[in-house]
Amino acid sequence: MEKELKILKYSDLPKMIEKFISQGYPVLAPVHKGKIVEIEYVQSLDSIALDVLLSTQSAKKAAFPKVEKVLEYTMNKAGVVQHPVDPADSKETILFGVRPCDASGFKSLDAIFGEGPSDQFYLSKKEKTTIISFSCPVADEYCFCTSVGGGPGNTAGSDLQFTSVSKDELLVEILTEKGKKASRIFADLLTEANSAIDKTKFIADVKVVFDLDSVVAKTTASFGNAELWLEQSLRCIGCGACAFVCPTCACFDFQDEQDTKKGVRLRLWDSCGFSLFTLHTSGHNPREVQSQRWRQRIMHKFAYMPEQLKVVGCEGCGRCSRACPVDMNIKEHLTAIREQVTV
Amino acid sequence: MNDLIKKVTQLLDDKTINVFIGYGQGTASRIRTIFVKNSSQVENLVYTSDCTANLAGYLLKHEVKKIGKLGILANDSALRSMMQLASEFQIKDGEVYVLHAAKDGSFTEFADFQSIEAYLVTIDTGITSDEQERIAKLEAMTVKERWIFWNKEFEKCIKCYACRAACPMCYCHRCTTDVNQPQWIPVASHEQGNLDYHLMRAMHLAGRCVNCGECANACPMDIPLNLLTYQLIAPIRTTFDATAGMKADAVYALSTFKPDDKENFII
Ligand code: SF4
Ligand code: SF4
């Protein structure tokens, strides 16, 4: 649909949230929790952290939670009786106050979960989520969205995007049918916007640090470059912090939890950084050492996904670098691939 | 600083070591671990008051060990981790070249474990006053309040295992959390799974934790995990007169039996 522009007053934001809630839409938004910022259900604008650069974790949990029940079963002498969990059993939700890199992260997840036997647990939750992003007035040195095709005012993946254009006013871009539907809930708070308004004046300037095509080509050519991956990952300690905060990391594990009579099957986040990730029952591990796991992380995002799904698996949010206990900085490592590898 | 650079250059040049584990400048003004393999990289070493990370965990990393003979810039915590690791047969005397970085910025070479032990008895191995205060607050709580406090903290946990990966004492090839036959700890990062994991980890560190704080520093969700393991330091000390990471040939308090062990904790 053709995008529409409106103006919303900051002072009307509390009313907008109230309207969502009173009409039965749960609102997920960034919330301060001590030093970190979580994405949680909120009841009013007061608890929403709109002043932060980025939430600690991404917003992916709106459609891909860290623990998700996918099956229930009971057991008796006759055998196992399955009680399927309905993937469509979720509420229409507003994901509010996230950043453009969170919204565009869902594009990668859509590609992953939509491919092959499409994943209804993810897709139906995603379908029922309306994403209201805020463009970024500031960025920090970990951000590199503009190098991976995004940007501080990127609207890809958002249904509505708000940009602060003065101290009392927000520019509202209505981008999709879903966004249009959500905007009707607070239509009385919206006024017409001047179509000549230049959004770029109000957003951060994030410098492009590398040429993506070249990084993709060089990463793709580097599978056998053991020295490169070892050099980059020698200090990597093999935790899953990077994958779990990432808006596009989608690997998961299944675990059954049961007693003698009943059980549940759970889908859980997993990470290619863990040594257990590829461990076979036989004891053989095709990714025996951490450098091979680091290679997998980078190649999955910058070689395999572009090749197979036509999307890059990174939004340049820099969350992984911020979360990393040992300062593995993805922007730096991609820049190094760009500079060091010759194809 | 010049002393450090000179020393490491010499160690690499005369092949005493093949790699030196030290601190370097990271991104966004962070300090990171660097691995210096030849004298042309020596200039990348830094040593400032921000160089507080315990580097001892890298002594056990397979790909680091493969480089050859290791040298390490060890702060007090790293020395204690090394003694604890030695007592658990993870490193041997003479295997690692140890340069000690004192708080005042001076560097001393430790020829063997014995000299490390001799140094360790002279330092304060306690936790900081800030940590003491936080623990006192926890201990002043009722059991119920403490339970609520920890459950609230664990609620944030995403089971990324950064705490485990960062801890020099969490070196088990197959951690209890990873064992699935039988499954001791629920894998899921739900209430039960998080609680079981953290209690298990704390128990496995009782008498082994050298209070370096790496677990809490590593946690992306800002969970004060160190308080959990630190709370076990005092009981182990008063009950068994044992402090982790002081002696390379120490026997582990919780896996040995002495006839005069106190039994007042048995209910
Ligand atoms: S790989 Fe890192 S920078 Fe890229 S989207 Fe994931 S968390 Fe963000
Ligand atoms: S580092 Fe923090 S979030 Fe990760 S497993 Fe440990 S406590 Fe949980």
Would you say residue A135 has pLDDT above 70?
yes
3-state secondary structure of B132: helix
User: CA A201 from chain center: how many Å?
Assistant: 26
Q: Could you tell me if A220 and A291 lie in one domain?
A: yes
Would you say residue A29 has pLDDT above 80?
yes
What is the pLDDT confidence band of residue A53, given thresholds at 50, 70 and 90? Answer: very high
3-state secondary structure of B140: helix
Q: Which helix (H) or strand (E) holds A250?
A: none
Residue B104: per-residue pLDDT: 84
Q: Could you tell me if A36 and A123 lie in one domain?
A: yes
Decide if B135 is inside a domain.
yes
Range of the domain at B67: 2-120
User: CA A1 from chain center: how many Å?
Assistant: 24
Which of A245, A255, A290 is nearest residue B220 as measured by Cβ atoms? A245
Q: Tell me B251's DSSP state.
A: P
Would you say residue A195 has pLDDT above 90?
no
**Strand B19-25 with B70-74, pairing:** parallel
Report ipTM (2 d.p.).
Answer: 0.95
Q: How far is the CA of A32 from the centre of ligand 1 (A)?
A: 21
Decide if A71 is inside a domain.
no
Residue where the block lists tokens 């739900």: B190
The predicted model gives B207-230 an average pLDDT of 96
3-state secondary structure of A111: helix
Q: Could you tell me if A53 and A181 lie in one domain?
A: yes
Q: How far is the CA of A250 from the centre of ligand 1 (A)?
A: 12
Decide if A153 is inside a domain.
yes
Q: Could you tell me if B164 and B93 lie in one domain?
A: no
Decide if A171 is inside a domain.
yes
Residue B156: per-residue pLDDT: 96
The residue out of B120, B153, B186 marking a domain boundary is B120
* Distance of residue B267 Cα from the nearest chain A Cα, in angstroms: 29
Decide if A69 is inside a domain.
no
The predicted model gives B2-12 an average pLDDT of 94
Q: Could you tell me if B15 and B96 lie in one domain?
A: yes
Would you say residue B18 has pLDDT above 90?
yes
Can you spell out the DSSP letters for A296-320? Answer: HHHHIIIIIHHHHHSS-S-----HH
How far apart (Å, rounded) are the C-alpha atoms in residues A139 and A149? 16
Supply the residue whose CA is at minimum distance from atom 3 of ligand 2.
B157
> Which amino acid is residue B118, in one-letter code?
A
Per-residue model confidence as pLDDT tens digits over B46-83: 999 999 999 999 999 999 999 999 999 999 999 999 99
The residue out of A168, A202, A236 marking a domain boundary is A202
What is the pLDDT confidence band of residue B257, given thresholds at 50, 70 and 90? Answer: confident
Contacts of B26 in chain A (CB under 8 A): 327, 329
Looking at chain A, the whole-number percentage of residues with pLDDT higher than 70 is: 100
Q: Is the CB of A248 under 6 A from ligand 1?
A: yes
Q: Is the CB of A152 under 6 A from ligand 1?
A: no
Decide if B114 is inside a domain.
yes
Tell me the CA distances in angstroms from B72 to B20, B36, B104, one per residue in order: 6, 10, 18
Asked if A327 and B32 come within 8 Å (Cβ–Cβ), the reply is yes
Q: Give the tokens for residue A327.
A: 């300062």
User: Which residues are paired to A69 by β-bridges?
Assistant: A266
Would you say residue B264 has pLDDT above 80?
no
The predicted model gives B114-123 an average pLDDT of 97
The predicted model gives B208-233 an average pLDDT of 96
Q: Could you tell me if A46 and A164 lie in one domain?
A: yes
Range of the domain at A310: 212-340
Q: Could you tell me if A130 and A187 lie in one domain?
A: yes
Asked if A239 and B30 come within 8 Å (Cβ–Cβ), the reply is no
* Distance of residue B124 Cα from the nearest chain A Cα, in angstroms: 26
Q: Whose atoms come closest to the Cα of A323: which ligand?
A: 1
What is the pLDDT confidence band of residue B201, given thresholds at 50, 70 and 90? Answer: very high
Contacts of B63 in chain A (CB under 8 A): 230, 233-234, 289-291
Q: How far is the CA of B163 from the centre of ligand 2 (A)?
A: 6
Q: Are A112 and A250 in contact (CB under 8 A)?
A: yes
How far apart (Å, rounded) are the C-alpha atoms in residues A292 and A273? 9
Q: Could you tell me if B89 and B191 lie in one domain?
A: no
Residue B183 or residue B14, greater confidence: B14
What is the pLDDT confidence band of residue B263, given thresholds at 50, 70 and 90? Answer: confident
Q: Could you tell me if A320 and A193 lie in one domain?
A: no
Residue B212: per-residue pLDDT: 96
Decide if A76 is inside a domain.
no
Asked if B222 and A141 come within 8 Å (Cβ–Cβ), the reply is no
Residue B88 or residue B1, greater confidence: B88
The predicted model gives B226-231 an average pLDDT of 94
> Which amino acid is residue A83, in one-letter code?
H
Per-residue model confidence as pLDDT tens digits over A260-314: 999 999 999 999 999 999 999 999 999 999 999 999 999 999 999 999 999 999 9
Question: Which residues does B contribute to its contact with A (CB < 8 Å)?
Answer: 26-28, 30-35, 57-58, 61-64, 156, 158-162, 164-166, 178, 186-190, 193, 214, 217-218, 220-222
Per-residue model confidence as pLDDT tens digits over A78-103: 999 999 999 999 999 999 999 999 99
Q: How far is the CA of A8 from the centre of ligand 1 (A)?
A: 31
Supply the residue whose CA is at minimum distance from atom 7 of ligand 1.
A246
The predicted model gives B191-213 an average pLDDT of 96
Decide if B61 is inside a domain.
yes
Q: Could you tell me if B12 and B116 lie in one domain?
A: yes
The residue out of B94, B120, B146 marking a domain boundary is B120
Q: Which atom of ligand 2 is nearest to the CA of B215?
A: 1
Q: Could you tell me if A216 and A191 lie in one domain?
A: no
Q: Could you tell me if B189 and B217 lie in one domain?
A: yes
Q: Could you tell me if B93 and B141 lie in one domain?
A: no
Decide if B17 is inside a domain.
yes
Return the residue in B18, B19, B27, B212 with the most chain A beta carbons within 10 A, the one to mutate for interface testing.
B27
Would you say residue A113 has pLDDT above 90?
yes
Decide if A68 is inside a domain.
no
Say how many domains are in chain B.
Answer: 2
Q: Is the CB of A271 under 6 A from ligand 1?
A: no
Per-residue model confidence as pLDDT tens digits over A35-49: 999 999 999 999 999
Q: Name which of A183-192, A328-337, B21-30, B98-107 the model is least confident about.
A: B98-107
* Distance of residue B159 Cα from the nearest chain A Cα, in angstroms: 8
What is the pLDDT confidence band of residue B267, given thresholds at 50, 70 and 90? Answer: low
What is the pLDDT confidence band of residue B254, given thresholds at 50, 70 and 90? Answer: confident
Q: Could you tell me if B115 and B134 lie in one domain?
A: no
Q: Which atom of ligand 2 is nearest to the CA of B161?
A: 5
Per-residue model confidence as pLDDT tens digits over A214-250: 999 999 999 999 999 999 999 999 999 999 999 999 9
Supply the residue whose CA is at minimum distance from atom 6 of ligand 2.
B163
Asked if B165 and A35 come within 8 Å (Cβ–Cβ), the reply is no
Which of A33, A66, A325 is nearest residue B166 as measured by Cβ atoms? A325
Per-residue model confidence as pLDDT tens digits over B130-150: 999 999 999 999 999 999 999
H helices within chain A, ranges in order?
Answer: 13-22, 100-114, 120-127, 177-185, 212-220, 226-233, 241-245, 290-299, 305-309, 319-323, 330-340
Would you say residue A212 has pLDDT above 90?
yes
